[in-house]
A and B are shown apart, each in its own frame.
Chain A
Amino acid sequence: MTRPKSHSKQLLEQARHLATKETKRPLQVSLRRAISNAYYALFHFLIDECCRMWIGSGPSGDLFRTTMARAFEHSQMAEASKAFRLPILADKVFKGKFGGMGIAVPAALRDVAQAFVELQERRHDADYDLTLRFNRHDVLGLCAQVEQAMANWEQIRNEPIARLFMLSLLFWERMSKSVR
């Protein structure tokens, strides 16, 4: 069975393939699908990391991880990521004891959060706004941004702040004070 982490890397490889497959003038549809793939590479990467943190990486957890992975929502993940782009988590972000602690967010995690928000926006534009035109180098830059985000994540994945981020990706609406 292909593990989801490999799935993320395959998506990113395919994104680059799509962005470069036309040697001269790239088709806009290729660039649009490349952006979508790059976003989903990061989306599935983060979900996989969360599921492994809570359930473990062993084969006995496959079914549980697959089930848990379906619980994540794009908009919740983006809202959570927006809060983690700042050097210090805003005091008003969290309910309970995390609220008011003035928690520092390391640069590596801020980059991951920023990449997620940006890629989700760009993916939305790529899929729904047919008036926009994309530049191949810009799209390849987004692929590199995703790759960088994955590398940054490896640096901080065992930090307590990374655990808080992963919790937030799933439970943002219930954890944050900005409940609608």
Chain B
Amino acid sequence: MKRYYVDHRSGMTKDEEFLQISSLLAQEGLYDESRGRLYCLVRRPEGVLMEKEFLYLWKDRADAEAFAQKIPHRTPGIWRVFEEDVIPVYEFLDLKRLGLPERPRVVGIKSELYTDSLGEENLRLWVILADDTTEEEWAWPNLRSIKAAIQESLGADLRENGLDLWPIIWFKTESEYCEEQKQALAS
């Protein structure tokens, strides 16, 4: 699957850069705040994965390059256009395609690439459950159903992309996740 994107080599978007590029994207009707940032895996030539965060992905190289031209050249040399194989994990984790049970209600899934205890790259997934999840709904058989649905669907998508990953799944509530994000930003 070929996609095109504007990449920032620093890895994470700084707030100032985020505002600048999201504003440019918004002017062109390309930025949809509700989608949030897009986290994708990118295959490096040596086969090592890295995780990148994007605001928008282009499928047309000319469009991507045209957009890159609008970014001020003095932005500390970090904006470039690449052509790579992107593995859009955020699409694989789209709640609509995972076939999850209705309850407990999953409100989002966030992913993170990390190195496991054996030194291999893997994904860590945070499955975010609604704050109104009851004690009964937190029961293991329910969590197991969610885990199984994600592992089956995501595993198949990743294998199609040549990746044999077995993500480690964590569960959190929406408020816990938001609180942790706030603390991370504050620090």
Question: Are A137 and B138 in contact (CB-based, < 8 A)?
Answer: yes
Contacting pair A133 B117 (CB below 8 A):
no
The CB with the most chain A CB atoms within 10 A, among B116, B117, B170, is that of B117
Binds A, one of B6-14, B51-59, B172-180: B172-180
Among the listed A85, A114, A120, A135, which residue makes an inter-chain contact with B117, where contact means beta carbons less than 8 Å apart? A120
Complex Cα spacing A140 to B180, Å: 21
Asked whether, in the complex, the Cβ of B118 is within 8 Å of the Cβ of A79, the reply is: yes
B143–A133 CB distance below 8 A: no
A82-B166 contact in complex given A121-B117, A124-B117, C-beta closer than 8 Å: yes
Does A145 count as interface, using CB distance less than 8 angstroms? yes
Interface check A50, CB cutoff 8 A: no
Counting CB contacts under 8 A, is A118 at the interface?
A: yes
B168 sits at the interface (CB 8 A):
yes
> B138-154: which residues lie under 8 A (CB-CB) from chain A?
138, 140, 143-144
Q: How far is the CB of A114 from chain B (nearest CB, A)?
A: 8
Q: How far is the CB of B107 from chain A (nearest CB, A)?
A: 14
* B92 contacts the other chain (CB 8 A): no
B90 at the interface (CB under 8 A from A): no
> Which listed residue, B118, B144, B166, B176, touches A135 by the CB 8 Å rule?
B176
Residue interface mask B114-152, A partner, CB < 8 A = 1: 001110001000000000000000101001100000000
A133 is contacted by which of B138, B140, B180 (Cβ under 8 Å)?
Answer: B180
Rounded to whole angstroms, the CA-CA distance of A121 and B170 in the bound complex is 11
B140 touches A135 (CB 8 A): no
Q: How far apart sit A79 and B166, CA to CA, in the bound complex (Å)?
A: 13
A138 within 8 A of B: yes
B residues at A contact (CB < 8 Å): 116-118, 122, 138, 140, 143-144, 166, 168-173, 176, 180
Given pairs A121-B117, A137-B138, 8 additional interface contacts (CB within 8 A): A114-B166, A137-B143, A138-B172, A141-B140, A141-B144, A145-B140, A145-B144, A148-B144
